[in-house]
Structure 1
Amino acid sequence: MNKRDKASNSSGSVFNELRLEGKLCDAVLRVDGVEFNAHKIILCSCSSYFRALFTHGWSSAEQRLYDIAGVSADTMRLLLEFAYTRSVPVTEENVEELLAAADQLCVMGAVRTCCEFLEQQLCPQNCIGIWKFADVYYCPDLRNKAFRFILRHFEEIAAASEEFLTLSLQQLADILERDDLNAKQETAVFEAALRWIGHSPEEREGHISVLLPKVRLGLMTADYFLNNAKKNTLVKESAECNPIITNVQRAIYDFTISRQSNSADVHNPLTRPRLPHAVLLAIGGWSSGVGPIDSIEAYDPRADRWVNVTHAEESPRAYHGAAFLNGVVYCAGGFDAVEHFNSVRKFDLSTRTWHQVAPMYERRRNISVAVLNGYIYAMGGYDGRNRLRTAERYDPKTNQWTALPPMHEQRSDASATTLNGKVYICGGFSGNGPLATAERYDPETNRWTLIAAMSSRRSGVGVIAYRERVYAVGGFDGTDRLRSAEAYDPPSDRWRAVPAMLQRRSNFGIEVVDDQLFVVGGFDGSVTYVTVERYDQNADEWQEAHDMEISRCALGCCVAHGLPNVSEYAAPRAAPPLPAAEEPPARRGGIRLTSG
């Protein structure tokens, strides 16, 4: 707290004591028969309503008594407390009435306090009510945040929220047609429309012809479309839906053919993918015949496309670590063919600008990084002379690194991830050969513990948490680059084999996007890859994904999610129905803060 804040709080406390004692007061507010003493100058300082009431011609300077309608006595007591102390106790029980009264009396500081409280309460069960409520009282920031929450959590809201069923036809249609609706499967959008209609079938069945064109029917599998959408009774009985179905059948065929040739059309409104909630970034790396590169590509999992998002301020770097935290990508350590770095840079994805942050204690090439509880962990690596056991942790709030206890093994070319509050690091190169050992760090005990060793030695391995397991994929065993993969189960302290990748690779990127495990680039012993694969545990198989534009190994990989400007990192689509900051108008409705 600065000196000005302390002085303000001190003076506010004095004035509040005078108010409570009824001293030097020049106004009496009468609310529901209850009278409140106040000082006009204090009320004028926080409310344009009171300033107009006290200073315009319809009241004289000598007038002391003012009747205030439309506000309860309890709520006026809270607003007076805010006027004098600049704080007010907001609860689930009083927030709706308090915000309405603050809006009526133009106590905008109290309005902001209520909006901040409601923002913290957003959940799938109440977000639609909060969105509507914020529209009634013109709280644009809260309204936009609530609407983005609806888009982001659409599948859960549409499947279970009772508030979802209260949307008007226009509200639902506007939501369903948006590119930034976060729907992994288009079947969820179709089923959401059916659930909304089913809530009041007599009134809503005729609206199927309005809602069906908002669904990207061409993104459904042919089986689901034919057996569920096309054969749906409402669809079959609607004459307006017949031409839509005909066009979709043609679009599904064209889309299937184009995907096989890697030329899918993302502009066709029937097959245009929704914007992704998360994108996979491939940053820098080593490219055959070139060396370290500065290129950044972003993978759009909904469109299965890579987009070049290279920024002019970047410098070539390989064997570095990349981590996403609070809307920012951090790149730590690495090698530019001359220097081994301890420097750390951050890239703000909203402004697309680079900034230097505090350097690590040690130079780290072939580094392993992980994110846990708001901290970035940097482990092992090679400093140009030695393979390292050391580890350190970065706090972005203080811009400081803190040394951690050393690991049990010297590890460069290892890989790390986090699962259930612990950091796991597996494999790597000790200086004498590839490692099969693995260990985990518990921040509560500040200790490293060896866990069961992998079945294979793996240097240049990819390690990632996926479906409550730690996956170790590929790498180099001292003789060959590997296709094999295995998964670690923490409760049993055991590794088990999982399906092997399609290609042998080491020093690649690995991340989980849209609940699929992706491996990106890498080295096969001769050349660097542009190829990308993905593993789906439900199908228990690896599939090819779209190639990158540039071959690279020793790259930094991370997943960026929740970006307000995600369209800048995604494959181009046709323009969304509305800009991201201008959602369709809400309708009046109450709010519910409980999750039941």
Structure 2
Amino acid sequence: MNNEMMASKQSSSVYNDLRLEGKLMDAVIRVEGVEFNIHKIILCNCSPYFRALFTRCSDPERKHKAYTYISDNFEEVMSCEEFLQLSVQELSDILGRDDLNVRKESTVYDAVLRWIAHIPKQREQHISVLLSKVRLTLTSEQYIRNNVISHPLVKDNSECLQIASNSIAIIGHFLRHRRSLVGVCNQLVRHRLPKVILLAIGGWSDDNSTNGIEAYDIRANCWINVENGLGCPRAYHGAVFLNGHVYCVGGYNGGVFYNNLDRFDLSTRTWHELTPMHRRRCNVSVTVLNGCIYAMGGKDRDVRLSSAERYRPEINQWSRIAPMNEPRSCAGCATLHNKVYICGGCDGIDRLQTAECYNPETDQWTEIAPMSVSRSGVGVIAYSDRVFAVGGFDGNTCLQSAEAYNPQTNTWHTVSSMLTPRSNFGLEVIEDRLFVVGGYDGNIPTNYVEFYDAARDEWSEACDMAIDRNALSCCVVSGLSNLTSYIIPRDTLPPLTLEDELEASS
């Protein structure tokens, strides 16, 4: 062992001895109510966030990294003791960022109050500066009246009252005129940037398969069309996100049953054809597990399939895996706890109530408890540590009902029904909410979108897609270098003043 390594090892030992003895500690981290005494110098060496925090970010690059970390993890960071050590300028800069990752703007207001409450006598003077960074018009009039205007720091400050009243006026204006806040470039109304994007890909629309892609901006609650290099029109396919790319598997274009595997480059928005599957699969069930894409069942012309195969992207090859216990097309599938679950579907004669799971370690399928009803065209997804089966067609009726499977007890339990019956729809989870997109409502294809909150056991409406479509597939993408290509523009319109917006209503 060389001298440098020995010195490093001895230093680490000394630091650990000091930590165990509780000596020379110069900061405290509190995690879920438990306090940990630490050495700042150690954390500075381990984390750019703590180095920036403790050194007040004199290095622009480190400052950028620290701010990015705080912005990406704001809801977690704001609960830490270190958050309270930020200066007013640092906090103001962070709160003003478009990429501040918060699900609700009320979280930003709560963070301001928490930071001030830490040293109230010194910090109460900064309330108006910080409140101006809270985009209050992204809350509601009721929230502003009940939580902002009524707060002692606000009601005794004329600047804060003006901010609050302006926000209420803008909200009222847009509600009266039934206009969306989307596309209005005013700092009070400017939507934060989403961290993930929901894509709705292909499907059956206007009696034809489509290659259309729409992107859902969850912060603005709005869909936009995505140019995609004239990809192959298809419906009854599967789509997944893996290693920074979108993969489309199988499907049908009205005449051809596909065994195609195509990869969509999110940066260039172009398609690339890869190694095809061993079988043609329309109504295929597709999911991802441990870096591999699984394609199961489906239909090849009139034949319902029990076969399944697995794709390894690093070698661009498909390999067959054990077949399912019965043929399934129009089934739904998901991965949970290192297993693949597939539910419902159609065997060519009956709509299926059965479900089974695949263990990749043993290459075996095992039957699990059946669902409460038969479901073909069902949406299946892992959510809230359960496997959810939503909607579908039971042979007579398009279903609104939903149920969740607990793998620990091998039991299903009913959850709240959707607002709209549907089958053959898109299904994904964004920010702990389960979104259902489009589908067939029993009469026609639909563009309706709604989402489920497991904590409330409640469904709510979201913005509808631009076109009606069923037999589509959805996936959630992240880490986009060209995020602005998939969201409502934040910078393309000139900023409007409050006077401009209110004058337009007169």
Please give the range of the TM-score, normalised by the shorter of the 2 chains.
Answer: 0.7 to 0.9
Q: d(CA) in 1 for partners of 2:65 and 2:342?
A: 37
Aligned length: 465
1:233 to 125, 137, 152: 152
Determine what percentage of the aligned residue pairs are the same residue. Answer: 51
Q: d(CA) in 2 for partners of 1:479 and 1:467?
A: 30
Which SS does the other structure have where 2:78 is aligned? helix
Runs of 4+ in 1 over 6 A off after TM superposition: 75-78, 90-94, 118-121, 131-134
Q: Which amino acid aligns with 1:372?
A: L
Matched residue, 1:152: 72
1:473-530 CA distance string (max 9 Å, x none):
1111112211221121222211122222222211111111222211111113432111
The reply to whether residue 529 of structure 1 matches residue 446 of structure 2 is yes
Q: Which range is displaced more, 302-311 or 244-253?
A: 244-253
Matched residue, 2:101: 182
Q: Which amino acid aligns with 1:273?
A: H
Q: Which amino acid aligns with 1:157?
A: V
Q: Which amino acid aligns with 1:409?
A: E
Q: d(CA) in 1 for partners of 2:292 and 2:264?
A: 16
Q: d(CA) in 2 for partners of 1:341 and 1:380?
A: 13
Which SS does the other structure have where 1:209 is aligned? helix
1:89-141 CA distance string (max 9 Å, x none):
x98999xxxxxxxxxxxxxxxxxxxxxxx99966xxx7353577796567x4x
Matched residue, 2:37: none
Change in Cα spacing, 1:137 to 1:178, as seen in structure 2 (3 Å) is closer
Q: d(CA) in 1 for partners of 2:45 and 2:342?
A: 34
Write out aligned runs for 1:381-396 (5 A): 381-396=298-313
Q: Which amino acid aligns with 1:351?
A: T
Q: Report the structure number with the largest CA radius of gyration.
A: 1
Contact 2:201–2:211, Cα closer than 8 Å, also in 1: yes
Which SS does the other structure have where 1:568 is aligned? helix
Which SS does the other structure have where 1:204 is aligned? helix
Matched residue, 1:245: 164
Matched residue, 1:204: 123
Which SS does the other structure have where 1:543 is aligned? strand
1:323 to 232, 235, 240: 240
The reply to whether residue 445 of structure 1 matches residue 362 of structure 2 is yes
Q: d(CA) in 1 for partners of 2:317 and 2:103?
A: 38
Change in Cα spacing, 1:133 to 1:322, as seen in structure 2 (3 Å) is farther
Q: Cα offset for 1:466?
A: 1.8
Name the TM-score, length of structure 2 as normaliser. Answer: 0.84
1:166-204 CA distance string (max 9 Å, x none):
322222112111221110011111111122222333332
Contact 1:472–1:485, Cα closer than 8 Å, also in 2: yes
Matched residue, 1:424: 341
Contact 1:275–1:567, Cα closer than 8 Å, also in 2: no
C-alpha RMSD of the superposition: 3.0
Q: d(CA) in 2 for partners of 1:440 and 1:500?
A: 25
Contact 2:327–2:347, Cα closer than 8 Å, also in 1: yes
Q: Cα offset for 1:246?
A: 1.2
Matched residue, 1:162: 81
2:431 to 482, 500, 514: 514
Q: Cα offset for 1:406?
A: 1.1
Which SS does the other structure have where 2:300 is aligned? coil
1:277-304 CA distance string (max 9 Å, x none):
2221100111133x11111001112211
Q: d(CA) in 1 for partners of 2:103 and 2:301?
A: 44
Change in Cα spacing, 1:149 to 1:445, as seen in structure 2 (3 Å) is farther
Q: d(CA) in 2 for partners of 1:149 and 1:363?
A: 45
Q: d(CA) in 1 for partners of 2:492 and 2:14?
A: 41
Change in Cα spacing, 1:546 to 1:334, as seen in structure 2 (3 Å) is same
Which SS does the other structure have where 1:345 is aligned? strand
2:188 to 270, 273, 288: 270
Contact 2:452–2:458, Cα closer than 8 Å, also in 1: yes
Which SS does the other structure have where 1:180 is aligned? coil
Matched residue, 1:415: 332
Q: Which amino acid aligns with 1:315?
A: C
Q: d(CA) in 2 for partners of 1:381 and 1:162?
A: 53
Contact 1:318–1:335, Cα closer than 8 Å, also in 2: yes
Q: Cα offset for 1:235?
A: 1.8
Q: Which amino acid aligns with 1:322?
A: A
The reply to whether residue 283 of structure 1 matches residue 205 of structure 2 is no
Matched residue, 1:589: none
Which SS does the other structure have where 2:169 is aligned? helix
Q: d(CA) in 1 for partners of 2:12 and 2:262?
A: 41
Q: Which amino acid aligns with 1:540?
A: D
Matched residue, 1:581: none
1:297-321 CA distance string (max 9 Å, x none):
0111221111101322312111110
Change in Cα spacing, 1:91 to 1:382, as seen in structure 2 (3 Å) is farther
Change in Cα spacing, 1:219 to 1:318, as seen in structure 2 (3 Å) is same
1:357 to 266, 274, 278: 274
The reply to whether residue 171 of structure 1 matches residue 171 of structure 2 is no
The reply to whether residue 311 of structure 1 matches residue 228 of structure 2 is yes
> Unpaired runs of 5+ in structure 1?
1-16, 21-72, 79-87, 95-117, 577-596
Change in Cα spacing, 1:571 to 1:411, as seen in structure 2 (3 Å) is same
2:386 to 442, 460, 469: 469
